[in-house]
Structure 1
Amino acid sequence: MIQTKLARSKPEEQGVSSKAILDFVNGLETEELGVHSFIVLRHGKVIAEGTWSPYNEEHPHILNSLSKSFTSTAIGLAIEEGKLSLDDAVISFFPEYMTDEIEKNMANLKVRHLLSMSTGHDEDTTPYLRRSNEWVKEFFNIPIVHEPGTHFLYNTGATYMLSAILTKATGTMLLDYLEPRLFEPLGMTDITTTTCPNGIHFGGSGMRVKIEDIAKFGLLYLQEGVWEGEQILPEHWVEQATSKQVCNGNDDNDWAQGYGYQFWRCRHGAYRGDGAFGQFCVVMPEQDAVVAVTAGVMDMGDILNLVWTHLLPGMSSMVEGQQSDLDSKLASLTYDPPRFITTSPNSHRWSGKRFEAQENDAGITAFSFNFDEDKGEFVFWDPEGDHKFKIGYGEWIESEYIIAGQEVKSAISGTWRDRNTFEMTLRLLGTPFCDKWTCDFIHGAVRINVSRNIWTVPGLSDMALVPTLIGYIH
């Protein structure tokens, strides 16, 4: 029978101090680290879990680069099936793109170099790939500066190439390949990903996975590839993938402990898959533990520091339990909506009016507001039609809409900051992003400035951002 839910237990029953977990959770909130959900596993059982409202543990969350560890797993399975090997030349899979110049440039690049981020490039290849409709061909045109295997450089384009190789070698897309081999045995569902213009799964980013399924993935590696008594991932692959394959620095931090095959080594004998803005699957073999996290934070290291400061010692030194306090805390996790100021005496001037938008990157042509007594509504028009989302007053209201061609599910709340300034907070569920829309109404016009909780790199962000939107009453 497929295990769809992990077993639950109490911290002290698995030798962990509930006070340590409570201190960890309090630390996350005190430092305002923007964590959305977490799970702590010990001895194969969930001993603590929490999700901050309006986020939902049943909603898949964007993994960003934690996707890379899943791609690595697929490569390990394909190697075991004899579909490819670590020492296969990358160019051997794509003879259709070969020229004398490409063969010379890529002659020594092997699958193992893609896995260990030691391709020899001087910069991440991803921005170059995104400028083309032929990502594989574009990758081959980017010069290799260092001898492959000698120079670490974090390179999401390398992971995309692993996905492309898997597709070429097996005739199956990445997620389709993992479905019967990983997702079904572990009871993982509702997993999606982004693709390149040719439909190849991105591999290096873009996957969406539920928090408990992240924890299951970590547990599979902790158990050296065994799941419910069956070896579904080769033990030797787990060892290779999570061992130091290349040096990535000499500092005493969690990004300089060595890199494996799409896994980072950590301090304290641990290793992890991670993704931008706080997506973590931390495996702690010495403690027989896993910590899974989804979040929206700029400095990811702050979360790991709290793991080492609170959870790690709590697994070896029992302190008087605080289970009831922990239970109360976990049951009350929430991000409060903005405090609602009842109304503005000027709201009737703007409610129901259609504003024609100036040219903007989002392609929005017009928009309007409706300020009812119990909730608000924002409507915008673009070439695809009209889109509406509800705005809670002193509460979160969920809406689904399309912006910049992407489907977005948000929890939204709004308040008047003064008689002519309305502020909407949009928590983009399943992503690290929280946007604040400040709407300044001036005579017959409105200017909307959008700020985001975290900085994003142009061309690499999975979600669009509207920095400024200006409209005039039509």
Structure 2
Amino acid sequence: MANSGLLERTTPEAQGIPSSAILDFIEALEQHTQPMDASHSLMLLRHGNVVAEGWWAPYGPTSPHWMYSFSKSFTSSAIGLAVEEGLLTVNDPVLKFFPDEAPADPSDNLKAMTVKHLLSMNTGHANEPTTTVFWGEDDNWPRAFLSLPVEKEPGTWFLYNTAATYMLSAIITKLTSQTLLDYLTPRLFEPLGIENPAWDVDPQGINLGGTGLHITTEDIARFGQMYLQKGVWNGQRILPEAWIEEATQATSDNSNQPSNPDWIQGYGYQFWRCQHGFYRGDGAHGQYCVVMEAQDAVLAMTSGVRDMQAVLDKVWEHLLPAMQAEPLPANPDAHSKLTEKLASLSLPMPQGTPTSPQAEATSGKLYTLETNDLNLKGVKLAFGDEGSTLTLVTPAGEQTVSVGYETWARSTAELREYGEEVIAASGAWTDDSTYTVYLSFYESEVGVIFTFHFEGDNLRMTYEPNVSWVSTDVQTIKGHTTN
């Protein structure tokens, strides 16, 4: 087992992995079907040492990334700490913590719901309650959760349930008068060296628990390595070993939900069991913390992918069989190729020319757009020698983004409902009349492809996201200019 010190860097061969196998894995990840449907970062640890790390530009090592449901594994850890401190037990009824939010006449099933049922996604709900709780009319989310029918006996029916994890966060706040983030900061984040974590909150200031955590790739790796080391980090006990054993075993049988192979191996306390006897925390669109105990390895990844099983399949195909029990002979040539690849990673950029006969005629013109689902009112492109600027007229006003050519130009803009965000963009003329822009919200999973096809005073614009909670279909928007 690896020592519990800070992360050291070594060659893959020194830890029993051929550099060529990691290179094969990376090249498999880069087999895109849609250019922005892609991995964003990876960090592979073996015996406590980082043997490979890389970020696909514009993503980088210091950029936090949305974790989505990988947040749940941190919330589970907070419950483990609270149990160790004697604040609660997993067998406590949920209603115990919410006397003011409980319905006047709770059902027997609601009375039977315990903290363990929240942890193991076995609350007894027949329908996933998160939409009702998070986007309903009641700003008191615990009350909204407790008002919902519990159709089945808790403990008898697995149903993935982000609102249940939110309730764990609310319990921590009830018990400690602290947010989940504040509770975990001295107990977990600071000891692990996780700096400046951010966690989204509900209308009452309660951290979302089941989603909303923003951390870096190395933060994921540190958390996974601490779990691999049974709760110890840098010689300090962070979590009880017994809790880690309990949290990562299969408490719930999740085979009742038809899904991909790595989503029906069992579910613990906010951790998924994997094929091959491993376990992981993960989040929507490809955020992974895979703990491979038998191989003494951890894989941390961030992504914006449509098919999460496909990524795990590539781990099992390329990395798992390559891990040897003993160090391998040094292979400078193979390691050099891997190092060069890792240093040059980038998301795909549009392939084309920096200018076009159309550029001068269309540069700086405002095109008014027809009514569309993106709520965009207009668009304007201005072309220069080293790239362009893209101005989108949104409900927040005109938002201008720098667009590089054969590079990622960075800027900030308010293009979504999350306020001002960092954005990187790259563009090219892909034919004489069409300018294509790849745009990355590079502290999140989202990347989009815009195309602008000019026909005289008319514009045909398309928009295609890499991932979406609604649809990844290409949307076409028409526009017209009068200037």
Q: Provide TM-score, normalisation by structure 2.
A: 0.90
Give 1:298's aligned amino acid. R
Which residue number in structure 2 is paired with residue 94 of structure 1?
A: 98
Question: Deviations along 1:288-325, whole A, 9 cap, x unmatched?
Answer: 11111111211111221222222222222677743233
Query: Structure 1 residue 418 and structure 2 residue 426: aligned?
Result: no
- Structure 1: runs of 5 or more not aligned: none
- CA RMSD in angstroms comes to 2.5
Question: Deviations along 1:336-384, whole A, 9 cap, x unmatched?
Answer: 4212323232333332223344444554444422122322112234454
**Cα distance, 1:29–1:354 mapped onto 2, change above 3 Å:** closer
Give 1:76 deviation, angstroms: 1.0
Question: Deviations along 1:100-122, whole A, 9 cap, x unmatched?
Answer: 34354511111100100001112
* SS across alignment from 1:70: helix
Distance 1:147 1:394 in 2: 57
Distance 2:237 2:153 in 1: 36
Give 2:311's aligned amino acid. I
Query: Structure 1 residue 8 and structure 2 residue 13: aligned?
Result: no
Q: Note if contact 2:103-2:147 (Cα within 8 Å) is conserved in structure 1.
A: no
Q: Note if contact 1:340-1:393 (Cα within 8 Å) is conserved in structure 2.
A: no
After TM superposition, the structure 1 = structure 2 runs for residues 20-99 of structure 1, keeping only pairs within 5 Å, are 20-30=21-31, 34-99=38-103
After TM superposition, the structure 1 = structure 2 runs for residues 332-343 of structure 1, keeping only pairs within 5 Å, are 332-343=344-355
Distance 2:206 2:470 in 1: 22
Distance 1:147 1:219 in 2: 36
Q: Identity over the aligned pairs, expressed in percent?
A: 45
Q: Note if contact 1:424-1:437 (Cα within 8 Å) is conserved in structure 2.
A: yes
Question: Deviations along 1:181-216, whole A, 9 cap, x unmatched?
Answer: 111101101311222222211111121110011000
* SS across alignment from 2:118: helix
Give 1:13 deviation, angstroms: 1.6
- Structure 2: runs of 5 or more not aligned: none
Query: Structure 1 residue 204 and structure 2 residue 210: aligned?
Result: yes
Which residue number in structure 1 is paired with residue 116 of structure 2?
A: 112
* SS across alignment from 2:190: helix
After TM superposition, the structure 1 = structure 2 runs for residues 181-192 of structure 1, keeping only pairs within 5 Å, are 181-192=187-198
Q: Note if contact 1:375-1:393 (Cα within 8 Å) is conserved in structure 2.
A: yes
**Cα distance, 1:4–1:209 mapped onto 2, change above 3 Å:** farther
Paired residue for 1:387, among 399, 404, 423?
399
Query: Structure 1 residue 222 and structure 2 residue 235: aligned?
Result: no
The count of corresponding residues between Structure 1 and Structure 2 is: 467
Which residue number in structure 2 is paired with residue 194 of structure 1?
A: 200
Q: Note if contact 2:5-2:233 (Cα within 8 Å) is conserved in structure 1.
A: no
* SS across alignment from 1:102: coil
Which residue number in structure 2 is paired with residue 352 of structure 1?
A: 364
After TM superposition, the structure 1 stretch with the greater mean CA deviation from structure 2, 24-33 or 308-317, is: 24-33
Give 1:31 deviation, angstroms: 6.0
After TM superposition, the structure 1 stretch with the greater mean CA deviation from structure 2, 168-177 or 328-337, is: 328-337
Distance 1:447 1:195 in 2: 39
Distance 2:341 2:102 in 1: 59
Q: Note if contact 1:365-1:382 (Cα within 8 Å) is conserved in structure 2.
A: yes
Q: Provide TM-score, normalisation by structure 1.
A: 0.92
Which residue number in structure 2 is paired with residue 157 of structure 1?
A: 163
* SS across alignment from 2:187: helix
Query: Structure 1 residue 173 and structure 2 residue 179: aligned?
Result: yes
Give 1:404 deviation, angstroms: 3.0
Which residue number in structure 1 is paired with residue 316 of structure 2?
A: 308
Give 1:41 deviation, angstroms: 0.7
Query: Structure 1 residue 131 and structure 2 residue 144: aligned?
Result: no
